[in-house]
DNA sequence: CCGAAACATGACCGGACGGTAATGGGCGAT
DNA sequence: ATCGCCCATTACCGTCCGGTCATGTTTCGG
C-alpha cells in the first residue's frame, strides 16, 4: 500500500511515516501543498494523509484541487483544529476522514486501513472517457457529446480496448490477441474494416477525430493536440 | 439516501433520525442488534449507523455478521467509548468510521455524507455471485464451480438481470422491459425459451438448480433452501 | 381424477453481425 | 516526382443468434 503524507511539521511527518513503513507500507512525504500535489499527480497512491494547515497552499485547497481534477483517492485530514465546524468543513471539501492531533498512531493506521479497505473493494473503472467520448462498460453504452452511439459487440470491444489504452499506441497484434482472441495472423484486413466502421460511428464529421492511425505501428486513441 | 440507525437509546436515535430526515434522507431505526440485522437484510441501505453497545447482540457482532455475509455497506460506529483501543477495535471489525458520543449532528451528517460519497463514487458491483455461480460483468464471463460457461448476449443479459435481483421474484414484465427493452407484450414465449436455454447451460445436472420458477409470478434466482 | 392453464423444450428459419476480398487513396522513401 | 506499401472503404455473403411456433409436461383447482 502506497501512502502520501502532506505535512509540514517534520516531527509529525516522520513519526507517521516511520510507523507506516514499519507496518509494511510505502510512504512518500511532502512538506508543502504544492509539493504534495506534484507527488500526488506523479504517482498513484492508495491513501493520502493531508495536514489541514500548510504553508503556502492550504490542505483544503490541495484536496479541492485533487478532487476537481477527477481524483478519487481516499483522503484523511490531519488537523489540530478539533472544532466541529472545522471537521465538517474538512469533510465537505471532499476528504473521507478527519483525525485531530494529537492522535494515537494505532488509530491513524486503523483509519488508513479502513479507508483503503473501502477503496479496494471498489471495482475497476467501469466508465472510460476520452475527450467528449464516454463508454460505459456496464451499461454497454457509448456517448459522444450528448447523443448515444449504437455499436455492434465487436465494435464495442474494439473501442473499449482502445480507450483502455488511450494515449498509447495499440498494435495490430495486440488487437488481434485481445479483441479477436486470435493468436495468429488471419492474413486479412479485419482490423482495418472494423476501425473504419468505428470511425464512421464515433469520428463523425462533427468534432475532432479521436482515433489516429500510426503508420507502420497501429492506432492510438487521443483527444487534444500533439 | 437511505440510512439505517441501530441504537438502543431512544433519545439519540430520535435525535439523529429526525435530523437526517430533515436533511432529506429516509431513515430506518432499530433498537436491538438482531432487529437491526433483519432490517439490514430486508432492504438496501446506503449507510448504517451502529451503536457500539447494544442490548443482546453487540454492535461489533452486528458488523461482523454483515461483513461475513458479504455486505459492503458503509458503516459508521457510534459510541461512548472514546478510548483509542476501542476506536481501533471498531474500525478493525469492519466499520468505516467511528464517532464518539456526544457528537454534533452536523458532524454526523458530514461523516455520513462522506461515507456515502465514497461509496457512490465506487462502481456498481461488477461481479455478481449466487451460490457457486459467478458472473463478471466487465469481462462478460460466467463461471460455475470452476469451469467457464459460454452465453449468448441475450442469455447473458437475462442472467445478469436475474442475478442482480437474486432473492427476489422477477416478473415477466420486468424481464421484457429490462432485458428485451419491450414495452409491450409480444404475446410469445420468448422468455420461456431463453430461460430454458439458460437452464441448460447453468443448471446442468450437476449441482443444485439456481433458477426457480414461481408459478403465476415469474422466476427467482436463489441458492440454498427455502 | 380430470381438465385447463402455465410452463418447458425442441425444431425451424429469417436477419443481422462480422469476416473476406477487391478496389481506391495517401503517405513516405529513394 | 514516382513508385510501392500501407491503410481506407465498399460490397458481398456465410454463419449463428435469437425469435416464433408447435408440442410435451407439470401444476393446481374443482
The chain B residues in contact with chain A (CB within 8 A) are 72, 74, 84-85, 87-88, 91-92, 94-97, 104, 106-107, 109-111, 113-115, 117-119, 121-127, 137-138, 153
B96 contacts A87? CB cut-off 8 A: no
| Helix residue ranges, H only, A2-152 | 10-22, 33-42, 59-68, 84-92, 105-121
Q: What is the mean pLDDT of residues A81-108?
A: 84
Q: What is the pLDDT of residue A26?
A: 92
Query: Following CA atoms A67, A70, A73, A77 in sequence, which dihedral angle do they give, to the nearest 10 degrees?
Result: 0
A124 contacts B110? CB cut-off 8 A: no
* Contact (Cβ atoms closer than 8 angstroms) between residue B98 and residue B91: yes
Name the pTM for this structure: 0.63
Average pLDDT, chain B: 85
Confidence of residue A20 (pLDDT cuts 50, 70, 90): very high
Query: Could A84 and B91 be called an inter-chain contact, meaning their C-beta atoms sit closer than 8 Å?
Result: no
> How far B132 CA lies from chain A's nearest CA (Å)?
20
Residue of A78, A46, A105 lying closest to B88 (CA atoms) = A105
- Portion of chain B with pLDDT greater than 90, in percent: 33
Across the range A44-49, mean pLDDT stands at: 89
Residues B15-29 have a mean pLDDT of 93
Cis status, amide bond into A99, omega within 30 of 0: no
Q: How far is B114 from chain A (nearest CA, A)?
A: 6
pLDDT at A121 over 80: no
Q: How far apart are CA B110 and CA B108, in angstroms?
A: 5
pLDDT band at B82, cuts 50/70/90?
confident
Mean pLDDT value across residues B218-224: 82
Q: Is the pLDDT of residue B69 over 90?
A: no
pLDDT over threshold 80, residue B215: yes
Distances (CA, A) of B95 to A115, B72, B136: 10, 10, 27
* CB-CB neighbors (< 8 A) of A111 in chain B: 91
Q: Following CA atoms A70, A75, A80, A85 in sequence, which dihedral angle do they give, to the nearest 10 degrees?
A: 60
Buried b (16+ CB within 10 A) or exposed e, B131-159: bebebebeeeebbbeeeebebeeebbbbb
Q: Please, are residues B37 and B66 in contact by the beta-carbon 8 Å criterion?
A: yes
What is the C-alpha to C-alpha distance for residues B177 and A51, in angstroms, rounded to an integer?
Answer: 51
Q: How far is B205 from chain A (nearest CA, A)?
A: 30
* pLDDT the model gives residue B190: 93
- Letter string b/e over residues B75-90, b meaning 16 or more CB atoms within 10 A of that residue's CB: bbbbbebeeeebbbbb
The predicted structure's pLDDT at residue A226: 35
Give A212's contacts (C-beta < 8 A, 6+ positions apart). A219, A220, A221, A222
Question: If interface means Cβ-Cβ distance under 8 Å, which residues of chain A face chain B?
Answer: 72, 74, 84-85, 87-88, 91-92, 94-97, 104, 106-107, 109-111, 113-115, 117-119, 121-127, 137-138, 153
Cβ <8 Å between B107 and A84: yes
Nucleotide nearest to B151 (CA to C1'): D17
Q: Kindly list the protein residues whose beta carbon lies within 7 Å of any strand C atom.
A: A 152-155, 180, 186-190, 192-194, 215; B 189, 192-193, 195-196, 199-200, 213-218
User: Are B179 and B157 spatial neighbours (Cβ–Cβ below 8 Å)?
Assistant: yes
What is the average pLDDT across B74-96?
84
Calpha distance B177→A149 (Å, rounded): 21
Side-chain-side CA neighbours of B90 within 13 Å: the count stands at 27
Q: Chain C: nucleotides under 7 Å from a protein CB?
A: 6-11, 17-22, 27-28
Contact B111, A95 (CB under 8 A): no
Which of A144-153, A156-165, B124-133 is predicted least confidently? B124-133
Residue A138, C-alpha cell as written in the block: 456496464
3 state SS for A185-212: CCCCCHHHHHHHHHHHHHCCCCCCCCEE
User: Per-residue pLDDT averaged across B5-29, rounded?
Assistant: 93
Q: Distance (Å, rounded) from C-alpha B157 to C-alpha B194?
A: 11
**Alpha carbons A118 and B95: distance in angstroms, whole number:** 9
Return the pLDDT at B225. Answer: 42
- Can you read off the three cell numbers belonging to residue B175? 424481464
pLDDT tier at A47 (50, 70, 90 boundaries)? very high
Q: How far apart are CA B49 and CA B75, in angstroms?
A: 6
Residue of B nearest to A73 (CA): B118
Distance in angstroms, CA of A37 to C1' of C11?
Answer: 66
- State the Cα–Cα distance between residues A195 and B211, nearest whole angstrom: 40
* H-run or E-run covering B187: none
For residue A225, pLDDT over 50 is answered with no
A60 contacts: CB under 8 Å, gap ≥ 6? A52, A89, A90, A93
Amino acid at each position: 500500500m502506497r501512502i502520501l503524507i502532506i505535512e509540514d511539521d517534520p516531527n509529525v511527518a516522520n513519526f507517521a511515516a516511520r510507523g507506516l513503513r514499519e507496518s509494511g507500507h510505502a510512504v512518500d512525504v511532502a512538506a508543502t501543498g504544492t509539493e504534495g500535489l506534484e507527488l500526488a499527480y506523479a504517482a498513484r497512491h492508495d491513501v493520502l494523509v493531508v495536514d489541514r494547515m500548510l504553508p503556502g497552499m492550504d490542505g483544503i485547497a490541495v484536496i479541492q484541487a485533487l478532487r476537481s481534477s477527477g481524483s478519487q483517492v481516499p483522503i484523511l485530514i490531519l488537523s489540530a483544529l478539533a472544532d466541529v465546524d472545522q471537521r465538517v468543513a474538512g469533510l465537505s471539501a471532499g476528504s473521507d476522514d478527519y483525525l485531530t492531533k494529537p492522535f494515537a498512531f494505532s488509530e491513524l493506521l486503523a483509519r488508513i486501513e479502513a479507508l483503503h479497505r473501502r477503496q479496494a473493494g471498489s471495482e475497476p473503472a467501469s466508465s472510460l472517457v476520452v475527450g467528449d467520448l464516454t463508454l460505459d462498460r456496464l451499461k454497454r453504452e457509448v456517448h459522444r457529446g450528448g447523443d448515444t452511439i449504437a455499436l455492434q459487440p465487436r465494435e464495442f470491444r474494439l473501442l473499449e480496448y482502445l480507450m483502455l489504452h488511450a494515449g498509447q499506441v495499440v498494435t495490430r497484434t495486440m488487437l488481434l490477441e485481445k479483441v479477436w482472441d486470435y493468436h495468429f495472423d488471419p492474413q486479412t484486413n479485419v482490423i482495418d474494416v472494423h476501425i473504419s466502421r468505428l470511425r464512421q460511428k464515433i469520428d463523425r464529421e462533427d468534432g475532432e477525430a479521436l482515433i489516429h492511425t500510426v503508420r507502420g505501428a497501429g492506432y492510438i486513441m487521443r483527444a487534444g493536440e500533439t
